[in-house]
Chain A
């Protein structure tokens, strides 16, 4: 059995003259939460549709859980769960009936189905409202129910297309927490698309960045920050005169210096020892209270990548 849950090889999908996915080559290891990041229209949803065999690729091929997406899509779908662009709930039916329907689809025996529905709805705080028609629910509750539907049959692979989109911050945070707990407990591979970078940073062990259908970078969030971000130093203190700033800007390893009240933000051209810079600041007459080294956030890496592509 392959170590990868998802393998794509030069996958291409065109819609008329528009290329939605452009030579996508990607490997997603089993058992991790993988974040697929990109702006709107980057090709994230199309990629999920291709991986589920809901669309045929124009060129290239993909394997999901060891099955070919074009010839063995039924096998893939029978082992996966998907929360796509929309929650996909039957709003005229109750929450319980929605799960009952999908439980029957997955051929879960009745006692196991009932027990699993109760377990998931209880965990997500929806058990007491299971008889209510879903159409009357808030978006956050619907999204939680959709997550319960995805996890119902304990799939090996879960596709989540922007699961927290449109939710208020509190609901989104709660859902993220539920998702992380449930995914860890169920031990599944999760393929998550989002344009919420903080979310990806919190949830994902690996991320891939896509733009205009092309994969720009892939790796763990920390790897990407180190590999693609600019190292920086933050110095907190007093007496950051023009003389201090000029001395710093003259150093070859310093890219950019920014002065904000009692803080100096120094962007470095490469990872270097910061002690000489601190000595320089002190020698130029400033008083240093605190020095922090840091890497940029995933969001900054992402924005850098987007800028580079422009």
Chain B
């Protein structure tokens, strides 16, 4: 099973990197350049020392993963490769987990590469002889949240991709989902009465960073598990072609 998952991941990564005849690699370089060099250079020591970086690194893999996961099944269906893949000896779960794993690996890999490069940039430019490092809570939080954020995007994305006839349709659905996820909390909080907002702010400030990270990780882990179970239930080889 693990070998089969690895095979699917190998193919997915090959396809991701060959996307657009090299444009994929260029986009990656730009991305790593922005998050690994430009932003740490601009933000200075805050890039390492502020707990707010947790928010950055939780969101970054989400965007990276949604850019590739839409293609997972909708792309195979659109390019007429799905039926041949389904006619192979690969078990259902190997196909599903291979695709999810490839998207998560891509998102997390690029995120962590940018993270490391950002740390090097921050130390080289703003270190002034002192080694700048993330605090253990923030460091672990970044690793956990980026992994779970990528997992969330991948398992939700694969569900959407399974249901979509085309990649464009899957991308549109995922874009709307991200917009909702991003804007509903922001505008929702804005719409609250001033008194409620103040209370919410106080409650948030009262939470320590460790507890916040643990709560976020628990919520994301539960969402991940739920979505993966839904994707497993949805992925039935004998039904994929008759729909």
Contacts and interface: CB of A to CB of B under 8 A. Distances in A.
29 contacts: A54-B86, A54-B241, A55-B238, A55-B242, A56-B238, A73-B237, A77-B87, A77-B88, A80-B87, A84-B84, A86-B80, A87-B84, A88-B80, A88-B85, A89-B81, A90-B11, A90-B81, A93-B18, A97-B11, A101-B11, A104-B10, A105-B4, A105-B7, A105-B89, A105-B90, A106-B89, A107-B3, A133-B21, A159-B87
B83 A88 contact: yes
A158 B221 CA distance: 44
Size band of the interface chain B makes with A: 20 to 34
Given A49-B241, A107-B3, A88 B89 contact: no
B3 to A, nearest CB: 7
B241 A92 contact: no
Nearest to A97: B14
B79 interface: yes
Pairs of residues from A and B, 10 with the lowest C-beta to C-beta distance, nearest first: A88-B84, A86-B80, A78-B89, A82-B87, A104-B7, A92-B18, A101-B11, A56-B238, A88-B81, A77-B89
A87 B242 CA distance: 19
Contacts of B15: 90, 92-93
A77 B21 CA distance: 33
Which range holds the interface residue count of chain A?
20 to 34
A55 B236 CA distance: 10
Interface in B62-120: 79-81, 83-91
A200 B34 CA distance: 60
A102 B88 contact: yes
A53 interface: yes
Interface of B: 3-4, 7, 10-11, 14-15, 18-19, 21, 79-81, 83-91, 237-238, 241-242
Given A92-B18, A107-B3, A133-B18, A52 B79 contact: no
B88 A85 contact: no
A86 B86 CA distance: 13
Contacts of B83: 49, 54, 84-86, 88
Given A54-B83, A97-B14, A107-B3, A74 B241 contact: no
Contacts of B90: 105
A208 B87 CA distance: 23
A133 B17 CA distance: 13
A209 B81 CA distance: 28
A91 interface: yes
